[in-house]
């Protein structure tokens, strides 16, 4: 029986070391998994923020286009001289980046201007 006692402690020591290694491996696996999840979450938050900023800029530009078009479609009095003067001032007030506003009247194939027909 004296020979079985050292074997028992030897096996118990090996089992404790193996169990400790397995537990340490499991703890490290969970830790690294949580780190990967946190890194992926941060990446997704950054991508979502970038997308939200791009979407916000896009919607703001669309809003500016709508405001500009809205001022253009408030029809000026065409019987007055230089009827686009009032439209130009409105457009420039909303969108100062516009440099030039010009009017190109529609011309029929026979060469007559729309305004000439209406007068």
Q: Each residue's pLDDT tens digit in the chain (119 positions)? A: 455 677 888 999 999 999 999 999 999 999 999 999 999 999 999 999 999 999 999 988 888 877 777 766 666 666 666 666 666 677 777 777 777 766 666 666 665 655 554 55
Contact between 96 and 104 (Cβ < 8 Å)? no
Each residue of 8-44: b (16+ CB within 10 Å) or e? eeeeeeeeeeeeeeeeeeeeeeeeeeeeeeeeeeeee
- CA dist 39 and 92 (Å) reads 47
- pLDDT value for 18: 93
Element (H, E) at 65: helix 4-72
- CA dist 64 and 58 (Å) reads 10
In this structure, what token pair is assigned to residue 21? 């290694």
């Amino acid at each position: 029986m004296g020979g079985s006692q050292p074997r028992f402690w030897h096996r118990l020591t090996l089992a404790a070391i193996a169990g400790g290694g397995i537990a340490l491996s499991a703890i490290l696996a969970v830790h690294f998994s949580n780190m990967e999840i946190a890194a992926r979450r941060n990446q997704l938050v950054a991508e979502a923020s970038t997308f939200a900023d791009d979407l916000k800029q896009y919607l703001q530009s669309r809003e500016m286009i709508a405001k500009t078009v809205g001022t253009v479609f408030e029809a000026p009095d065409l019987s007055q001289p230089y009827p686009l003067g009032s439209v130009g001032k409105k457009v420039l007030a909303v969108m100062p980046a516009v440099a030039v506003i010009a009017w190109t009247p529609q011309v029929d194939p026979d060469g007559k201007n729309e305004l000439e027909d209406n007068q």
